Chains A and B, each alone.
Chain A
Protein backbone atom coordinates (compact mmCIF):
# COMPACT_ATOMS: atom_id res chain seq x y z
CA UNK A 1 0.00 0.00 0.00
CA UNK A 2 1.07 3.52 -0.62
CA UNK A 3 2.00 5.87 2.16
CA UNK A 4 2.67 9.59 2.12
CA UNK A 5 4.35 11.28 5.06
CA UNK A 6 4.50 14.98 5.74
CA UNK A 7 6.57 15.10 8.88
CA UNK A 8 6.09 18.82 9.46
CA UNK A 9 2.76 19.27 11.19
CA UNK A 10 3.03 23.04 11.42
CA UNK A 11 5.44 25.66 10.08
CA UNK A 12 5.46 29.31 11.01
CA UNK A 13 7.47 31.89 9.07
CA UNK A 14 7.63 35.62 8.66
CA UNK A 15 6.68 37.18 5.37
CA UNK A 16 9.40 37.14 2.70
CA UNK A 17 11.11 34.11 4.20
CA UNK A 18 11.58 31.05 2.02
CA UNK A 19 9.94 27.88 3.29
CA UNK A 20 10.17 24.24 2.23
CA UNK A 21 7.45 21.69 2.88
CA UNK A 22 8.68 18.12 2.97
CA UNK A 23 6.94 15.11 1.48
CA UNK A 24 8.18 11.52 1.56
CA UNK A 25 6.31 8.66 -0.04
CA UNK A 26 6.38 4.88 -0.09
CA UNK A 27 5.16 2.91 -3.06
CA UNK A 28 5.71 -0.35 -4.91
CA UNK A 29 4.31 1.05 -8.12
CA UNK A 30 6.73 1.54 -10.98
CA UNK A 31 4.58 4.24 -12.46
CA UNK A 32 2.93 6.80 -10.29
CA UNK A 33 2.06 10.45 -9.90
CA UNK A 34 2.70 12.91 -7.12
CA UNK A 35 0.65 15.95 -6.28
CA UNK A 36 0.48 18.99 -4.08
CA UNK A 37 -2.81 20.52 -3.03
CA UNK A 38 -3.45 23.72 -1.09
CA UNK A 39 -6.29 24.22 1.39
CA UNK A 40 -6.64 27.89 2.33
CA UNK A 41 -8.62 28.97 5.41
CA UNK A 42 -11.79 29.08 3.31
CA UNK A 43 -11.65 25.28 3.22
CA UNK A 44 -11.65 24.32 -0.43
CA UNK A 45 -8.80 22.25 -1.84
CA UNK A 46 -6.88 23.60 -4.79
CA UNK A 47 -4.69 21.58 -7.13
CA UNK A 48 -1.15 22.94 -7.42
CA UNK A 49 0.96 20.44 -9.35
CA UNK A 50 1.14 16.90 -10.72
CA UNK A 51 4.41 15.08 -11.45
CA UNK A 52 4.96 11.83 -13.31
CA UNK A 53 7.38 9.37 -11.73
CA UNK A 54 9.41 9.30 -14.94
CA UNK A 55 10.00 13.03 -14.89
CA UNK A 56 12.41 14.13 -12.19
CA UNK A 57 12.91 17.61 -13.53
CA UNK A 58 12.37 20.28 -10.95
CA UNK A 59 9.57 22.66 -11.71
CA UNK A 60 9.15 26.33 -10.97
CA UNK A 61 5.96 28.32 -11.15
CA UNK A 62 6.36 31.86 -9.95
CA UNK A 63 7.30 31.73 -6.28
CA UNK A 64 6.58 28.01 -6.10
CA UNK A 65 9.07 25.30 -6.91
CA UNK A 66 9.06 21.55 -6.53
CA UNK A 67 11.99 19.19 -6.08
CA UNK A 68 11.30 15.56 -7.00
CA UNK A 69 13.99 13.06 -6.05
CA UNK A 70 13.14 9.46 -6.79
CA UNK A 71 16.31 8.23 -5.04
CA UNK A 72 15.04 9.52 -1.71
CA UNK A 73 11.30 9.15 -2.49
CA UNK A 74 10.77 12.80 -1.81
CA UNK A 75 8.72 15.52 -3.47
CA UNK A 76 9.39 18.73 -1.61
CA UNK A 77 7.66 22.05 -2.16
CA UNK A 78 9.38 25.41 -1.70
CA UNK A 79 7.73 28.79 -1.49
CA UNK A 80 10.12 31.65 -2.13
CA UNK A 81 9.52 35.04 -0.52
CA UNK A 82 6.43 33.81 1.30
CA UNK A 83 3.37 35.99 1.62
CA UNK A 84 0.50 36.06 4.09
CA UNK A 85 -1.79 34.69 1.37
CA UNK A 86 0.32 31.54 1.33
CA UNK A 87 -1.04 30.63 4.75
CA UNK A 88 -2.88 27.36 4.26
CA UNK A 89 -2.73 23.64 4.81
CA UNK A 90 -0.69 21.93 2.12
CA UNK A 91 -1.19 18.29 1.19
CA UNK A 92 1.09 16.01 -0.73
CA UNK A 93 -0.52 13.04 -2.46
CA UNK A 94 0.39 9.89 -4.42
CA UNK A 95 -1.56 8.18 -7.19
CA UNK A 96 -0.63 4.84 -8.78
CA UNK A 97 -0.27 4.87 -12.52
CA UNK A 98 -1.88 2.45 -14.91
CA UNK A 99 -1.50 -1.11 -13.69
CA UNK A 100 -1.01 -0.08 -10.10
CA UNK A 101 -2.99 -1.83 -7.42
CA UNK A 102 -5.04 1.24 -6.61
CA UNK A 103 -5.11 2.82 -10.01
CA UNK A 104 -6.81 6.18 -10.03
CA UNK A 105 -7.04 6.72 -6.28
CA UNK A 106 -5.03 9.29 -4.37
CA UNK A 107 -3.37 8.72 -1.03
CA UNK A 108 -2.86 11.97 0.86
CA UNK A 109 -0.32 12.91 3.48
CA UNK A 110 -1.39 14.30 6.83
CA UNK A 111 -0.93 17.88 5.71
CA UNK A 112 1.33 20.72 6.82
CA UNK A 113 -0.17 23.86 8.29
CA UNK A 114 1.78 26.86 7.03
CA UNK A 115 1.32 30.20 8.75
CA UNK A 116 2.98 33.25 7.27
CA UNK A 117 3.10 36.21 9.63
CA UNK A 118 3.25 39.78 8.35
Chain B
Protein backbone atom coordinates (compact mmCIF):
# COMPACT_ATOMS: atom_id res chain seq x y z
CA UNK B 1 0.00 0.00 0.00
CA UNK B 2 1.74 3.18 -1.15
CA UNK B 3 -0.60 5.87 0.18
CA UNK B 4 1.19 9.14 -0.50
CA UNK B 5 4.49 9.30 -2.30
CA UNK B 6 6.66 12.40 -2.19
CA UNK B 7 9.76 13.12 -4.24
CA UNK B 8 12.50 13.99 -3.78
CA UNK B 9 13.14 12.83 -0.24
CA UNK B 10 15.84 15.41 0.19
CA UNK B 11 17.25 18.20 -1.95
CA UNK B 12 19.83 20.94 -1.66
CA UNK B 13 19.05 23.87 -3.86
CA UNK B 14 20.77 27.13 -4.75
CA UNK B 15 18.82 30.29 -4.06
CA UNK B 16 17.00 31.59 -7.12
CA UNK B 17 16.49 28.15 -8.63
CA UNK B 18 13.08 26.74 -9.48
CA UNK B 19 12.04 23.56 -7.72
CA UNK B 20 9.00 21.31 -7.89
CA UNK B 21 8.17 18.90 -5.11
CA UNK B 22 6.07 16.02 -6.34
CA UNK B 23 3.20 14.39 -4.49
CA UNK B 24 1.12 11.45 -5.67
CA UNK B 25 -1.60 9.57 -3.83
CA UNK B 26 -3.28 6.32 -4.75
CA UNK B 27 -6.21 6.47 -2.35
CA UNK B 28 -8.49 8.50 -4.63
CA UNK B 29 -8.83 11.13 -1.92
CA UNK B 30 -10.51 14.35 -2.99
CA UNK B 31 -8.60 16.77 -0.77
CA UNK B 32 -4.85 17.33 -0.77
CA UNK B 33 -2.59 19.66 1.17
CA UNK B 34 0.94 20.93 1.40
CA UNK B 35 2.40 21.79 4.80
CA UNK B 36 5.81 22.97 5.85
CA UNK B 37 7.28 21.96 9.18
CA UNK B 38 9.69 24.25 10.99
CA UNK B 39 11.10 23.81 14.48
CA UNK B 40 9.02 25.65 17.04
CA UNK B 41 6.30 26.49 14.54
CA UNK B 42 4.67 23.14 13.98
CA UNK B 43 3.07 22.50 10.62
CA UNK B 44 1.75 25.39 8.58
CA UNK B 45 -0.53 25.04 5.59
CA UNK B 46 0.89 26.35 2.33
CA UNK B 47 -1.78 25.45 -0.23
CA UNK B 48 -4.66 23.05 -0.43
CA UNK B 49 -7.01 21.53 -2.98
CA UNK B 50 -10.49 20.38 -2.07
CA UNK B 51 -10.95 18.56 -5.36
CA UNK B 52 -9.27 18.13 -8.71
CA UNK B 53 -9.22 21.40 -10.63
CA UNK B 54 -9.41 23.65 -7.58
CA UNK B 55 -6.75 25.06 -5.28
CA UNK B 56 -6.62 27.53 -2.41
CA UNK B 57 -4.14 29.44 -0.33
CA UNK B 58 -3.24 28.37 3.16
CA UNK B 59 -1.48 30.23 5.94
CA UNK B 60 1.90 30.72 4.22
CA UNK B 61 1.37 30.66 0.43
CA UNK B 62 3.85 33.33 -0.68
CA UNK B 63 6.61 32.02 -2.93
CA UNK B 64 4.76 28.79 -3.66
CA UNK B 65 2.31 27.62 -6.30
CA UNK B 66 0.36 24.42 -6.80
CA UNK B 67 -1.76 22.76 -9.43
CA UNK B 68 -4.29 19.93 -9.31
CA UNK B 69 -4.77 18.65 -12.83
CA UNK B 70 -6.10 15.29 -11.62
CA UNK B 71 -7.11 13.53 -8.41
CA UNK B 72 -3.80 11.82 -7.77
CA UNK B 73 -1.15 14.51 -8.25
CA UNK B 74 -0.52 17.72 -6.34
CA UNK B 75 2.88 19.25 -7.13
CA UNK B 76 4.28 22.20 -5.18
CA UNK B 77 6.51 24.64 -7.05
CA UNK B 78 8.97 27.16 -5.69
CA UNK B 79 9.44 29.58 -8.56
CA UNK B 80 12.61 31.17 -7.19
CA UNK B 81 13.80 29.53 -3.99
CA UNK B 82 14.99 31.61 -1.04
CA UNK B 83 16.80 30.43 2.12
CA UNK B 84 13.70 31.00 4.26
CA UNK B 85 12.06 28.18 2.32
CA UNK B 86 14.46 25.72 3.87
CA UNK B 87 12.09 23.34 5.60
CA UNK B 88 10.56 19.90 5.63
CA UNK B 89 7.57 19.75 3.33
CA UNK B 90 4.72 17.34 3.88
CA UNK B 91 2.04 16.45 1.40
CA UNK B 92 -1.21 15.11 2.83
CA UNK B 93 -4.59 13.96 1.65
CA UNK B 94 -7.99 13.28 3.13
CA UNK B 95 -11.13 11.66 1.81
CA UNK B 96 -12.65 15.10 1.56
CA UNK B 97 -12.12 18.51 3.12
CA UNK B 98 -14.66 17.89 5.88
CA UNK B 99 -12.48 15.38 7.69
CA UNK B 100 -9.22 16.22 9.35
CA UNK B 101 -7.96 12.68 9.28
CA UNK B 102 -5.03 13.44 7.07
CA UNK B 103 -2.75 10.85 5.54
CA UNK B 104 0.76 12.22 5.23
CA UNK B 105 3.65 11.48 2.97
CA UNK B 106 7.09 10.91 4.42
CA UNK B 107 8.20 14.45 3.79
CA UNK B 108 10.69 16.21 1.55
CA UNK B 109 13.61 17.94 3.23
CA UNK B 110 14.60 21.01 1.25
CA UNK B 111 17.68 23.12 1.93
CA UNK B 112 18.07 26.40 0.07
CA UNK B 113 21.56 27.88 0.16
Contact = CB atoms under 8 A, between A and B. Distances in A.
Given A104-B31, A104-B48, A105-B48, A47 B42 contact: no
A104 B101 contact: no
Interface residues of B, number: 27
A73 to B, nearest CB: 17
B106 A106 contact: no
B43 A104 contact: no
A36 to B, nearest CB: 11
B42 A108 contact: yes
Contacts, number: 60
Contacts of B35: 108
A65 to B, nearest CB: 19
Given A104-B48, A105-B48, A106-B100, A44 B106 contact: yes
Contacts of B101: 35, 47, 50
B67 interface: no
23 contacts: A6-B42, A35-B100, A37-B102, A43-B106, A44-B104, A44-B105, A45-B90, A50-B101, A91-B42, A91-B43, A93-B43, A93-B100, A98-B98, A103-B98, A104-B48, A104-B97, A105-B45, A105-B97, A106-B100, A106-B102, A107-B45, A108-B44, A110-B42
Interface of A: 4, 6, 9, 33, 35, 37, 42-47, 50, 91, 93, 95, 98, 103-111
